[in-house]
Structure 1
Amino acid sequence: MFRLFNKSKPFKIRGFSENKKYGVAAKDMKELLKKGCKLLQVPSSGAQVCLYEDGTVVTEDFFLTLPDDTELVLLSQGQTWSGVVCDIGQLLNTDRHADSLIDAAKELLCDEKSSKKRKILSDLLRNLDDRSEMESREDDKAWFTGVDVRFKTKSAYMKFNCQSRIRSYMKEVNEATRTAEKARVRAELLKASKCFTEMLKEANYNGCYFDRTEKESERLCTQEGWFTCQGSFDEKSCPSLHSINPYGSRESRIVFSTWNLDHRIEKRRTIIPALLDALQNRKSSSINLDYFYQLLFTRENLKLVHVVCHKKGAHGLSCDAEKIFSSESKPKRRRT
């Protein structure tokens, strides 16, 4: 009696890596799998059907509840489907649809009112319009708009950008030499400052941090130029997973300038005052300048953070008292 009323239902089915959908009618799961495998040329052994929307596997009982024209995906043995996310991943993993995606995103953005959707579309556009594989000024002139003509490659400019930030930290040390009250302290701090400058020159002002052509162990980005936020000073990683590729476009390059190389142990509040205090009754030669160099200029104490993750309040971290003074007459020289 049941089979008299068990009519075939229409579905739209597609393969795992295909965008084209096919119409198929079936009265039960067995028939659906048989027709789907034949239509899409998928081996029947281990094959299964799931909902396109969220990847829910369609069982015999679930089949009976499905409305007409439900969109389905046919999977071969070992394949999994996570829903619409899979489609997005496949689209972004190929350049074949990049131009179409850019045009579609721009069209949607023009009429979109939701701020959340606008942000998603804007971020998508920025990342799709990626020219990070291009390195020279000649190949990507738009990226170099506003950049001094002496820079012929993106990596050279990014190295200079990092060096400029490190040099600004050195300026603050030099400023402290002029504000120290005691002449003797000023003289010793000046010696320390000269030593820091020598170490920085030897390390090329640690410009390697932003240079994607440097060794993996020395740069802060991937070989393609992607930087990942390392989280605020009191976190092990960034909870929001902020990332950016300043090599990709002029806009991303400019936005990256708002990211901070943040001192965990603070430069103005803690490190420089600690150095001044240590020099009150001692010569610079008895101070562990290598330790202060690491705190001021290297990844030992610097974290690259998105502007949102940059906490401007007092960090409350102090220098290690046992490391401030050194038994060595000269500091060790380090690159990073």
Structure 2
Amino acid sequence: MHKTKPKLFKIRSANNAKKYGVAVVSLKELIKKGCHLLKVSSIGVQICLYEDGTVVTEDYFLNLPDNTELVLLSEGESWNDGFVYEINQVLGWDRHTELLINAARTLLSDEHSPKRRKILGDLLRNLKDSSEVESRAEDKDWFKGIDVRFKTKSAYMKYNCESRIRGYLKEVDGQTKVISNAKTKTEYKKVVEMLAEKLKAVRNNGTYFDRSEKDLHKLCTEEGWFSCQGAFDVNECPFLHSINPYGNRESRILFSTWNLDHVIEKKRTVIPTLVEALQKKKSSEINLDYFFKLLFTRENLKLVHIVCHKKGAHELHCDPRKIYKRVKK
């Protein structure tokens, strides 16, 4: 008589991570052995998939592959998602302990799903966090590759933002070379000089990345967390992207891929509009504050994760009512 070959499973309870290997030929035998191993009553017991909580029936049992991970649920217990359970376990511990980091590494080493590996990788990176310290002496690894003149994280992050903003001014200045009309070029140079002075007065808006600044002037929390503000045409990030470049060196480097994106585009719209305006009027008649805000301030800049940065044309225009100074009657 043909004997049914046993199936191999890994089984655990809903409140204990320890797993047991069992070899059984039926769901009934699985429940019996599971209850014995886990020392629970068989009354009202159910078996479900560890991965997503699907309840195992007799028919479903027949199609399960070997080494499927299962959870034995006592009467009244429920199970939604194994990965959610592991994350809850991880987040329930002190995030600054080696135990927590090792747990995340263990989960990552056993995980085969690309999506979940990505989530665990991000989690592990953020667990290795030293955002509470500020000086070079306290976190030498964070400062690797950074000029020795920077003694604190905030000082470097401020410089980082200033560099980006100064880069925008350089692009504005670069337009001078392609203006053919001599008169327009002269007026344009004057505007660039005035914008440079105005930018210098506000310290190149480096405060946007400086966590030591007041909330009004920065884009991050006191701890240094930045949140993606979403693409230019949405009110918020649908993916809830966030990063703390103050936490560790890897996060600091990754933050360089985030963009301070111009809602009304700098190259396609703002600069060409400025040039066109100077073809009609003198630099003294241009609304300098309006162009300054569009080019260098949060009024027209959004901090966005690279995934949310849309590179296509925004097709937004400058407000014609604000291009020139208002003439007092």
Taking structure 1 as the reference length, what is the TM-score of the superposition? 0.74
Give the equivalent residue in structure 1 for 2:101.
102
Give the equivalent residue in structure 1 for 2:178.
179
| One-letter amino acid of the counterpart of residue 233, structure 1 | F
List runs of 5+ in structure 2 lacking aligned partners: 1-11, 19-37, 45-49, 54-70
1:202 Cα shift? 1.1
Map 1:18-57 → 2, pairs under 5 A: 25=41
1:328 Cα shift? 6.4
Q: Aligned equivalents of 2:152 and 2:239: distance in 1?
A: 31
| One-letter amino acid of the counterpart of residue 231, structure 2 | S
Change (3 A) 1:243 1:305: same
Q: Aligned equivalents of 2:76 and 2:203: distance in 1?
A: 56
1:110 Cα shift? 3.5
1:270 equivalent to 2:266? Answer no
Cα deviations across residues 183-239 of structure 1 (Å, max 9, x unaligned)?
Answer: 111111111111111111111100011111111121111111111111111111111
Cα deviations across residues 34-86 of structure 1 (Å, max 9, x unaligned)?
Answer: xxxxxxxxxxxxxxxxxx9999xxxxxxxxxxxxx9446999xxxxx987647
Q: Aligned equivalents of 2:96 and 2:72: distance in 1?
A: 26
Cα deviations across residues 133-161 of structure 1 (Å, max 9, x unaligned)?
Answer: 11110000000000110000101000000
Determine if contact 1:13/1:73 at 8 Å carries over to the other structure: no
Q: Which moved more, 1:262-271 or 1:91-100?
A: 91-100
Q: Aligned equivalents of 1:90 and 1:161: distance in 2?
A: 37
What count of residue pairs does the alignment treat as equivalent? Answer: 280
Give the equivalent residue in structure 1 for 2:143.
144
1:106 Cα shift? 2.2
Give the equivalent residue in structure 2 for 1:311.
310
Cα deviations across residues 92-120 of structure 1 (Å, max 9, x unaligned)?
Answer: 25426742232133234345432122212
Give the equivalent residue in structure 2 for 1:3.
none
Cα deviations across residues 162-192 of structure 1 (Å, max 9, x unaligned)?
Answer: 0000000000111112221111111111111
1:153 equivalent to 2:147? Answer no
Q: Aligned equivalents of 1:264 and 1:74: distance in 2?
A: 53
Map 1:167-246 → 2, pairs under 5 A: 167-246=166-245
Give the equivalent residue in structure 2 for 1:135.
134
Determine if contact 1:188/1:284 at 8 Å carries over to the other structure: yes
1:125 equivalent to 2:124? Answer yes
Q: Aligned equivalents of 1:72 and 1:209: distance in 2?
A: 53
Change (3 A) 1:256 1:190: same
Determine if contact 2:40/2:74 at 8 Å carries over to the other structure: no
Secondary structure at the aligned position of 1:285 is classed as: helix
Cα deviations across residues 275-328 of structure 1 (Å, max 9, x unaligned)?
Answer: 000000211111101000000000110000111111111110000000101126
Change (3 A) 1:93 1:220: farther
Q: Which moved more, 1:94-103 or 1:316-325?
A: 94-103
Give the equivalent residue in structure 1 for 2:6.
none
List runs of 5+ in structure 1 lacking aligned partners: 1-10, 29-51, 56-68, 76-80, 330-336
1:244 Cα shift? 0.7
Change (3 A) 1:125 1:215: same
Q: Aligned equivalents of 1:74 and 1:111: distance in 2?
A: 30
Q: Aligned equivalents of 2:301 and 2:120: distance in 1?
A: 32
Change (3 A) 1:26 1:144: same
Secondary structure at the aligned position of 1:303 is classed as: strand
Secondary structure at the aligned position of 1:295 is classed as: helix
Q: Aligned equivalents of 2:318 and 2:13: distance in 1?
A: 65
Taking structure 2 as the reference length, what is the TM-score of the superposition? 0.75
Determine if contact 2:96/2:129 at 8 Å carries over to the other structure: no
Over the residues paired in the alignment, what is the CA RMSD in angstroms?
A: 3.2
